[in-house]
A and B are shown apart, each in its own frame.
Chain A
Amino acid sequence: MRSWEPFEWIVAARFLREGRWQTVFIIGGVAVGVAVIVFMSALLTGLQANFIRRVLTAQAHIQLLPPQEKVRALRGGLPGVVEDAMQQAPLQRLKSIDQWPAVAAQIRALPEVLTVSPSATGSALVIRGEASRAISVVGIDPALYFRIVALPDKIVRGGTRLSANDILIGTDLASDLGLGVGDKLRVTAASGADAVFTVSGIFDLGSKGANQRTTYMALHTAQSLLGLQGGVSSLDVTVADIYGAEDVAQRITALTGVEADSWIKTNAQFFSAVQAQITANTAIRFFVGLSVAFGIASVLFVSVVQKSREIGILRAMGVTRGRILRLFLLQGGLLGLSGSAVGSAIGAAALLLWRQLARGPDGLPLVPVTLDALLFVAALLLASATGVLAAVAPALRAARLDPVVAIRG
């Protein structure tokens, strides 16, 4: 006995040590539960992060677009009477977001917002010799846009230089038109305006369609080509908390009056899949935690029965009900803590093994998993708390034991 060890600690540790195999098996049970939680959590977090990275490295978290053209019904003199009931959907012309620099400044001032990048997007035709392709022109400010879409990482040939006459094209467009870095091509906008550009880089966005259609050029060049002098067709926004994007989008709409769509809204199916995965993971963790709690509780109930004479004697010797209560709560906490320490080690080993073995044909991990220290700390704390909670009922029973009955056995 060391002088810094309280009574409860001394007796709890000795009781657990005395019930050796019982203790070993319940620690084993807790360890398996915690290992499953740690492994699954890290794996699913990696899987989710991978999916989200794939989706969100190619698009903004929030996009602001100019309002849609809407048709208004003509109304006559009588209130509520529509004279012209036939409505034809209006043309959606390419137009700029009104007062976009002011809107961008307002959005940048929001604390949740990381980047605001203006872009001018429209359709055009690219002609080279006798071949032509329909393309989408995206005029960007590289310094801002590359913070949203990591285009430099996707460049396979050339660079990301975007001076007035430079254009970045996809690998499939390059191969369709036989283009290489430094080659020239003519781009004609729907308005009839055209210009000759030099291919400064070729990128691979990982999708044939995107590689055939998407092209990037400097913002002011695109503005001229698309007839949007000084204007932008969208503002791309990134936020710190990707899951809070919809809330921020609604705040932006309320603040600026411009319609803002979050990635959650535009990728509703994907987002609900992610949410379903989170829910399933949470449910699995909850039920594994519950079974761990039941395991600890049952072992402690057995221990209370086994130790009832000792408890009675301790009570006869003047040990208070509070001390007996704490003694069993501590046992629950110790079982949770020890089990989670072993379980965390098993979980970490399984994750390392997974990282080594589960690799794709390219040699890269199928799912990039990271050993997050926070996950292990959380597992230790949660398992200990679960142990303490699971011990409440047996501890109360022990504390309420009538010493006379307990001693008599």
Chain B
Amino acid sequence: MRLEQVRKAFNVGQPAEIEVLHGIDLELGSGEFCAVMGPSGSGKSTLLNIVGLLDRPTSGLLSIGGQETTRLDDAALTRLRGRSIGFVFQYHHLIGAFTALENVMMPMLGDAGFPSRAMGERARELLDSVGLSHRCDNLALNLSGGEQQRVAVARALAMRPAVLLADEPTGNLDNRSADVVFELLRRVNRTQKTAVLFVTHNPALAQRCDRTIEVVDGAIVGSACSPAPMPAALPPG
């Protein structure tokens, strides 16, 4: 994934125009785990929305898997987003009307249109890998906060994305649950070579990432490397 001189402004052409990202250059390689730190309002979430194809940059280039995305139409962006990018948010955002298993199946279902046995098997496998095989048939609303976030991680991995974007996924969790979720992302990153962009305010977690970038006032002001130990392997997929 590569960003070249990405700028993002709101209220373009109006007196209240404001630029929140000022020419971001960033490259995230396969299997790289990069922490993004910075004070609130510095533009981290906007950066993640642009990388996640949820928002378009005002100028600059964004390539994912070698494909330049800034000129794609909404349908193509949606397809690329669904197949290449997984999201884990600070709040789990599971769909309460569905069970844990169905939530994990949802990206595959949304892509294919009809459910299949393979989707169910894949979802069970992912829930098993996050240690929730016994909670498959529970409604998402009936799970604990840590369990819900682990289901959200499993859901983000459903389409085997090349990039995983995690926007403060441990922000609402206690230390133990936060550690579990972080380790989960780390394992996915190491075993499946999934690139991870991990927004956090927690310096301890940032230190356990391969690299940390610091965003201040819409610009990357610093970058540092901090190698981490190898975790246990996840099931294939």
Contacts and interface: CB of A to CB of B under 8 A. Distances in A.
B96 A321 contact: no
Interface in B81-137: 81-83, 87, 89, 93, 95-98, 102, 105-107, 109-117, 120
Contacts of A407: 54, 89, 93
Interface string B44-63: 00000100101100000000
A3 B114 contact: yes
Interface string A384-409: 00000000000000000001100100
B139 to A, nearest CB: 10
A314 B115 contact: no
A319 to B, nearest CB: 4
A316 interface: yes
Contacts of B98: 14
12 contacts: A1-B109, A2-B115, A3-B114, A3-B115, A7-B110, A7-B113, A10-B109, A14-B98, A312-B93, A317-B87, A317-B106, A404-B54
Contact of B93 (A309, A318, A320): A309
A15 B102 CA distance: 14
A213 interface: no
A310 B114 contact: no
Given A7-B110, A317-B107, 16 more contacts: A1-B102, A1-B109, A7-B113, A7-B114, A18-B97, A313-B95, A314-B110, A317-B82, A317-B106, A318-B79, A318-B81, A319-B78, A319-B82, A320-B78, A321-B75, A404-B55
Interface in B151-175: 155, 159
Contact of B81 (A5, A17, A316, A323): A316
A65 B111 CA distance: 74
Contacts of B17: none
Chain A interface bracket (under 10, 10 to 19, 20 to 34, 35 or more): 20 to 34
A10 B115 contact: yes
B110 A1 contact: no
A403 B56 CA distance: 12
Name B's interface SS: helix
A17 to B, nearest CB: 7
Name A's interface SS: helix
A21 interface: no
B78 A321 contact: yes
A1 B79 contact: no
For the complex of A and B, the 5 pairs showing the least CB-CB separation, nearest first, are A318-B82, A319-B110, A18-B97, A1-B115, A317-B107
B237 to A, nearest CB: 18
Given A14-B98, A309-B93, A318 B110 contact: yes
A1 B120 CA distance: 10
Interface string A1-45: 111111100100011011000000000000000000000000000
Nearest to B52: A316
Contacts of B117: 3
A376 to B, nearest CB: 32
Contacts of B55: 404
Contact of A318 (B83, B95, B96, B115): B83
Interface in A266-313: 309-310, 312-313
A349 B226 CA distance: 76
Contacts of A321: 74-75, 78
A315 interface: yes
Contact of A316 (B54, B96, B111, B116): B54
A313 B90 CA distance: 13
B80 to A, nearest CB: 8
A309 B140 CA distance: 15
Nearest to A310: B95
A316 B87 contact: yes
A313 B81 CA distance: 12
B116 A315 contact: no
A404 B120 CA distance: 29
B44 to A, nearest CB: 13
By CB atoms of chain A within 10 A, which of B74, B78, B98, B102 has the most?
A: B78
By CB atoms of chain A within 10 A, which of B49, B95, B117, B120 has the most?
A: B95
A320 B106 CA distance: 13
Contacts of B102: 1
A318 B54 contact: no
Contacts of A6: 113-114
